[in-house]
Amino acid sequence: MPKLTVLPHAELCPEGAVIEDAPSGTSICRVLLDHHIEIEHACELSCACTTCHVIVREGFSSLESATDNEEDLLDKAWGLTSTSRLSCQAVIEDADLTIEIPKYTINHAAENH
């Protein structure tokens, strides 16, 4: 199984993490949540927001291409880079990945409370 390395994030994963057994065919978001890294996912993994945005620092080319819908949403993400993905849509294949969870998210549901 591929390895998923999560770079340190001040709130969600201060020490960073290495998930040695990330199952192929599973979204990055699901793997993070299953390993108690509570990344935001306001739309419940349905590709309808940008709260689960991650930057793939290593292994980006191993991921399937983003759909047009994902690309449209990513255009609204805070801190967008050329290797940004919605973690609910980026499915782990056979390669190891290193990801960074951006410092901020745009969560319209949370902002309106």
Q: What is the pLDDT of residues 67-102, one digit of tens each?
A: 999 999 999 998 999 999 999 999 999 999 999 999
For 44-73, b/e burial (b = at least 16 CB within 10 A) is ebebebbbbbbbbeebbeebeebeeebeeb
C-alpha closest to that of 13 among 21, 2, 5: 5
User: Which CATH code is given to the segment(s) 4-111?
Assistant: 3.10.20.30
Backbone Cα Rg of the chain: 13
Q: What does the pLDDT look like over 22-32, one tens digit per residue? A: 999 999 999 99
Q: Report domain extents, the chain.
A: 4-111
